[in-house]
Amino acid sequence: MFDTYTVPFSLPNKMILSPSILRAGCFAACFTGAVAAQTPKAVVSPEPTETGISYGDHRKQQLMYWKPTSRSDQPTPCVFYIHGGGWRGGSQTDANLMAMLPQLLDSGITVISVQYRYIQDALAGHVTPPVKAPMTDCAAALQFVRYHKKRFGIDPDRMIAVGGSAGACTSLWLALHDDMKDPSSDNPIARQSTRLMGAAVIRPQTTLDPKQMREWTPNSWYGGHAFGQFVEKGDKKPVQFARFLEARERLLPWIKAYSPIEHVSPDDPPIYMFYSDEPRIGQKQGDPTHTSNFGVKLQEKLRESGVECELHYKGADVEHSTVLSYLLEHLAVNPD
């Protein structure tokens, strides 16, 4: 029933990611919150129930899923996982997911992990803007899962999107976006809702607007690739970002369409965001692509609309210190 998973990054030598720690619900400080890995360390992880489930025609439009450890005849809650990697790479079984997976399954939660087209696939397929491919793929995957709820054994009304970095951005976009179902479609999958019970995410980008990013965090440099603004040979990051800023007015309709913060409305579900660093709005950050400044600004807008939002960062007084603890409280069928 079990195979091994190698954590794909190295961290300080005294931080060990072991099965017992995983089951205690801890994870790397730079991700979900408490423990990291040696260089690299094999971790026992549950084998997927099924892999390679196609939800579209492209080879990357696939799902894998895990049934809960304790099988039930009743529909189970579901974590809908979207991996990170800048929409240009990553893994359906990344370290964020693998750290949480055993305890999620032990708590009666089904886990579904999405693979999707990357920016490079969008370019090859002439999809514009490029970020449309990964984001709309995840929406289509969600509709596919809902349509096949009996196959996966899930309760479609108890689904929370989870992801890190670009996967977190996509998760927020799904959770905050108006329903993308098409009631008039001849395709029954397209008639399925894309609304979620919520999102619990790790260091997301909450806007893709270079003007907002630069105002919130002056040394921002990320995001141009989402709209086809790529680094040219010899460019440094500030030069590439300056080009993105120059193109902003032309790109603005796309920026607004794919920035999670632009879709906030009073009927949105609760949001949980985990960051490592302390926010400093208007100041340079050590990791401007994953700064908690993103979270502060989204939380402000959500609260203005009356939407529940919990934001974790260093020194914050919050109820849940990890994404895992948030998920277990909101979804667990068999909590410890």
Residue range 151-168: mean pLDDT, rounded: 98
Question: 271 vs 229, which has greater pLDDT?
Answer: 271
Q: Residue 56 burial (CB < 10 Å; 0-12/13-18/19+)?
A: middle
pLDDT at 25: 35
pLDDT score, position 4:
32
- pLDDT class of 332 with cuts at 50, 70, 90: confident
pLDDT-based confidence at 239, cuts 50/70/90?
confident
**What's the longest Cα–Cα distance across the chain?**
59
User: DSSP letters of 290-329?
Assistant: S-THHHHHHHHHHHHTT--EEEE-TT---S-SSHHHHHHH
Render the burial of 135-174: b for 16+ CB within 10 Å, e for the rest.
bbbbbbbbbbbbbbbeebbbbbebbbbbbbbbbbbbbbbb
Mean pLDDT, rounded, for 38-42:
40
Q: What is the pTM of this model?
A: 0.87
Question: Which pLDDT score is estimated for 21?
Answer: 32
Instruction: List, for residues 184-224, the tens digit of each pLDDT value.
Output: 999 999 999 999 999 999 999 999 999 999 999 999 999 99
pLDDT greater than 90 at residue 233? no
- Residue-level pLDDT at 33: 40
CA 235: distance to chain centroid?
29
Answer yes or no: is pLDDT of 279 > 80: yes
pLDDT band at 238 (very low <50, low <70, confident <90, very high): confident
- Distance in angstroms between the alpha carbons of the first and the last residue of the chain: 22
Which of 128-132, 242-246, 253-257, 309-313 is the least confident region? 242-246
CATH number of 46-331: 3.40.50.1820
For the CA atoms of 83, 160, 36, 117, what is the dihedral angle to 10 degrees? 0
Whether 295 has a pLDDT exceeding 90, the answer reads yes
- Give tens-digit pLDDT for 117-158: 999 999 999 999 999 999 999 999 999 999 999 999 999 999
pLDDT band at 24 (very low <50, low <70, confident <90, very high): very low
pLDDT digits (tens, 9 = 90+) for 48-100: 999 999 999 999 999 999 999 876 789 999 999 999 999 999 999 999 999 99
- Residue 303 tokens, joined: 């609260």
HSE at residue 291, side-chain half, CA atoms within 13 A, is 26
Identify the pLDDT of residue 283: 98
Q: Residue 243 above 70 pLDDT?
A: yes
Angle of helix 237-246 versus helix 248-258 axis, rounded to 10 = 90
Which residues, including other chains, have CB under 8 Å from residue 93's CB and lie 6 or more apart?
5, 45, 64, 113
